[in-house]
Amino acid sequence: MPGPELPTAPDAGPAHGACTSCAIYNSANLRKLGVETGTYDYVAAVAGNPNTGKSTVFNALTGLRQHVGNWPGKTVARAEGGFHYHGHGYKLVDLPGTYSLLSTSNDEEIARDFLLFGRPDVTIAVVDATRLERNLNLVLQILQITDRVVVALNLMDESERHGITIDVRHLARELGVPVTPMAARKGQGVPELLESVEQVARGTVATRAHRVKHRDPRLERAVDVLAGQLQQTFPGLPSTRWVALRLLEGDPGTEQAVRDGTLGDLGRGIAGPEATSARPTGTAAR
Amino acid sequence: MTLDELRPDHRATVVALEIRGVQRRRLMDLGLLPGTEVRVDMTSPLGDPTAYLVRDALIALRRSQARAVHIEVHDDEPGRR
Ligand SMILES: Nc1nc2c(ncn2[C@@H]2O[C@H](COP(=O)(O)OP(=O)(O)OP(=O)(O)O)[C@@H](O)[C@H]2O)c(=O)[nH]1
Ligand SMILES: [Mg+2]
């Protein structure tokens, strides 16, 4: 399978010579670090619906053996590992599966909070190519909060077996972020995924995430006002527009977190104290 | 007509969700929106919960949830999807 065409800036790859998109070259540059994340430059989150192969992708990149099995809900807490690629350290965070950032169970909350408030430099959205329509719900929700997304279109072997063909270039263009087809269990597509993750992390490819628009301009204005107030009350809090929308919906959990101030702790706490000190060249100033 | 009345192996299209707040959100996150096609897959002995096929995945709904989903039944076949 040919590598995916990035949605924008076709010649914006890193300056590593001619063979940077060549699979063997890329894999040779991957050093799996297991749990030894040490210091790192970038944090990448692995998110997606349950049972889409997130832990399989995580294991392929870190060399770890996170629990993998053929039923949903295996990963119930966040697992961390690391890898080194083209001279940069990455911390990778494997998240529990979730269908939505909106209505959530306990494991789903772990994933939601990390995506919203953990400030990952890249989010790898692992999707099941045999159930694309269902999986895109979460992808679109993630694209509402960040541009720094790579879609890992996994289980391509299964979808081919079912006779499903996916227009990957078109999908990438519509979503506005790179889409890499893969069959993670066989290691297929891993080099291309690495390349896209690096490009998004380092900002060498311009992504322009598809944003679902709200129909009513009054709603947009209300979100602007509330998000501004949240920014003042909780300085540095990410995803304030998302939080503002939940408040406008009257979501009880969000209202409570604002009232008792735990919302601010979410914004500070999740990356962990070690994460801020150990990121010499990260993008903390975003 | 509502989803709890849909007979096994008949297909229908969701036309409205008569439910608000968190419960409505949950149904939408399960993939049930106006325009979505749905089919009964399995009923438990007492018919509660029932498994439905929605967007290539099985979801289980309690009768109280299914009652909030207004549908239009397709008038072809039973059986095929
Ligand atoms: N055929 C095929 N199977 C895969 C592929 N990737 C993962 N799997 C299988 O899919 C199943 C689920 O993989 P996991 O990596 O545990 O999925 P997960 O997304 O981490 O699951 P949860 O943590 O439960 O949400 C396992 O049986 C994997 O071996 C793939 O590319 N092709
Ligand atoms: Mg997992």
Q: Among all ligands shown, which has an atom nearest to the Cα of A188?
A: 1
* B14 CB burial (10 A radius; 0-12, 13-18, 19+): buried
Report the chain B residue with the minimal C-alpha distance to residue A102.
B25
Whether B57 maps to a domain, the answer reads: yes
- Judging contacts by C-beta atoms under 8 Å, the chain A residues touching residue B56 are 130-131, 133-134
* CA nearest neighbour of B36 among B70, B78, B75: B70
Q: Which atom of ligand 1 is nearest to the CA of A50?
A: 25
**Shortest-distance atom of ligand 1 to CA A188:** 31
In a domain, B16, yes or no: yes
Residue A80: CB atoms within 10 A of its CB come to 16
pLDDT of residue A37: 65
Going from N- to C-terminal start, the domains of chain A cover 23-210, 217-274
Q: Residue A277 above 70 pLDDT? A: no
Read off the pLDDT of residues A71-100 as tens digits, 9 standing for 90 and up: 777 888 889 999 999 999 999 999 999 989
- The per-residue pLDDT for A25 is 54
What confidence score (pLDDT) does residue A142 get?
97
Looking at domain A23-210, does it have CATH number 3.40.50.300? yes
pTM of the entire predicted model = 0.83
Question: Residue A173 is encoded by which pair of tokens?
Answer: 């263009």
Show Cβ contacts of residue A101 under 8 Å, excluding neighbours closer than 6 positions.
A112, A115, A116, A138, A141, A142, A145, A242
- Per-residue confidence (pLDDT) for residue A30, from 0 to 100: 84
pLDDT digits (tens, 9 = 90+) for A99-143: 899 866 788 889 999 999 999 999 999 999 999 999 999 999 999
pLDDT, residue A17, reads 42
What gap in Å lies between CA A197 and CA A247, rounded to an integer? 33
Assess whether the previous peptide bond of B49 is cis (omega < 30° from 0): yes
R_g of chain A, CA atoms, integer Å: 18
Q: Any idea what the CATH number is for the domain that residue B35 is in?
A: 2.30.30.90
Concatenated DSSP letters of A158-205: HHHHTT----HHHHHHHHTS-EEE-BGGGTBTHHHHHHHHHHHHHT-S
pLDDT single digits (tens) A217-269: 999 999 999 999 999 999 999 999 999 999 998 888 899 999 999 998 887 76
Chain B partners within 8 Å of A137 (Cβ): 29, 31
pLDDT of residue B76: 67
pLDDT above 70 (res A7): no
For A57, how many CA atoms within 13 A lie in the half-sphere containing its CB?
37
Residue A11, chain B, CB below 8 Å: the answer is no
- Please tell me the distance in Å from B72's CA to the nearest CA on chain A: 21
For residue B5, report the phi and psi dihedrals to the nearest 5 degrees.
-95, -5
Give the domain extent around B43: 3-73
Q: Which two tokens stand for residue A185?
A: 């269990």
Give B39 or A30, the one with higher predicted confidence: B39
Do the beta carbons of residue A113 and residue A270 sit within 8 Å?
yes
- Ligand 1-lining residues (CB < 6 angstroms): A 48, 50-56, 68-70, 72-75, 96-97, 154-155, 157-158, 183-185
Lowest mean pLDDT among A28-42, A195-209, B46-60: A28-42
Instruction: Pick the residue whose CA is nearest to atom 17 on ligand 1.
Output: A53
Q: How far apart are CA A195 and CA A201, in angstroms?
A: 10
Higher pLDDT, A211 or B12: B12
* Number of domains observed in the structure of chain B: 1
CB A117, CB A129: distance < 8 Å? no
Give dist(CA B32, CA B3) in Å, integer.
Answer: 11
Please choose from A46, A67, A68 the residue to mutate so as to test ligand 1's pocket, defined by most ligand atoms within 8 A of CB: A68
pLDDT in the model for residue A26: 61
- Residue-wise pLDDT tens digits, A148-196: 999 999 999 999 999 999 999 999 999 999 999 999 999 999 999 999 9
Residue B26: list chain A partners with CB under 8 A. Answer: 103
Nearest Cβ partner for A134 among B25, B26, B56: B56
Model confidence at B81: pLDDT above 60? no
H or E element that contains B40: strand B37-43
Most confident of the ranges A27-36, A182-191, B15-24: A182-191
Mean pLDDT of chain A: 84
Token pair 């979801």 is found at B59
Mean pLDDT in residue range A200-221: 90
Between A33 and A145, the higher pLDDT residue: A145
A10-19, A165-174, B12-21, B67-76: least confident range: A10-19
What's the CA-to-centroid distance between A56 and ligand 2, angstroms? Answer: 7
A71 Cα to the center of ligand 2, angstroms: 10
Per-residue pLDDT, B41: 86
**Given B29, B55, B56, which is nearest A102 (Cβ)?**
B29
What distance separates the 2 farthest-apart alpha carbons in chain B?
35
Asked if residue B45 has pLDDT above 60, the reply is yes
| A103–B26 CB contact, under 8 Å | yes
Q: What torsion, rounded to 10 degrees, do the Cα atoms A244, A247, A248, A251 define?
A: 140
